Amino acid sequence: MKYSWKTYNLKRINLSKKIIKFNRKNKFNYIENGLYNHIRDIFCIGLLLLDKKKKLNKILDYGSNLIALSNIKNKINTKKYKFYIFDPFCEKKINLKYPVNVTISNKKKFLKESNFDLINFGSNLQYLNSLDELKNNLNFFKTKVIVITHTPVTLKKSFKSSQKNHKNLIQKIYNYNSLISFFIKKKYKIIFKSINEKKYIGLKNNNKHTFSINIIFQR
């Protein structure tokens, strides 16, 4: 049976509502479970690297859902950002009063025809069969910052593995140097990198050469 990202993303809406409600009533941000506070902060750092003089920076959250943007309102000023979520499994409009300026699209044509100041890959590159999908789907021409978070990589040969916490879900674990090279060839350089605790990798075939990484590229 094929894994249903549509069902997964719909379930995340309830948590989004909970976070948004909390942040409207409180001065400081909602505390998410596990490593999510950390990776949201890294995303915010990426946003703050963009041109502050620009009237509106366009942000793409690639292959994501509403949860990633639910918990940044009390962390940074979001007024100078227009967010776009590419969710290929979204089939209908989501009725939710959102704290940031956001549009959700399932159209690949929209991606290729648009220019984004920042592209965020939050734990999704491992679900691509090939990094060539990014070349085919995205226009990196004017993108100044790339943020990658909570993404497993290996220092050895790329491999595939089942995911421990979700049935019927396979990850492709890219070789670290191959992943880095993909973006370096597009004239980006690494300005930040870190790893997460091993327990968050979530693979059945985990080993000492596999890491969950966070990276910020800038051009």
Residue 17 and residue 5: Cα distance in Å, rounded?
19
pLDDT given for residue 217 in this prediction: 98
CA quadruple 10, 118, 202, 205: dihedral sign: positive
Q: Tell me how many degrees the CA angle 35-36-41 measures, rounded to the nearest 5.
A: 105
- Give mean pLDDT, residues 149-154: 97
- Taking only the tens place, the pLDDT of each residue in 90-99 is 876 666 677 8
The total domain count for the chain is: 1
Residue 38 clears pLDDT 80, i.e. is over it: yes
User: Which range among 6-20, 67-81, 116-130, 181-195 shows the weakest confidence by mean pLDDT?
Assistant: 6-20
**Cα–Cα distance list, 71 to 67, 89, 120 (Å):** 8, 22, 15
Number of C-beta neighbours around residue 212 at 10 A: 23
**Cα–Cα distance list, 28 to 23, 31, 41, 73, 97 (Å):** 7, 9, 13, 9, 19
For residue 20, what is the domain's CATH number? 3.40.50
- Give mean pLDDT, residues 147-176: 92
Residue 152 and residue 142: Cα distance in Å, rounded?
27
- Give mean pLDDT, residues 132-149: 94
Distance of CA 101 to the CA centre of its chain: 17
pLDDT given for residue 98 in this prediction: 79
Range of the domain at 30: 5-218
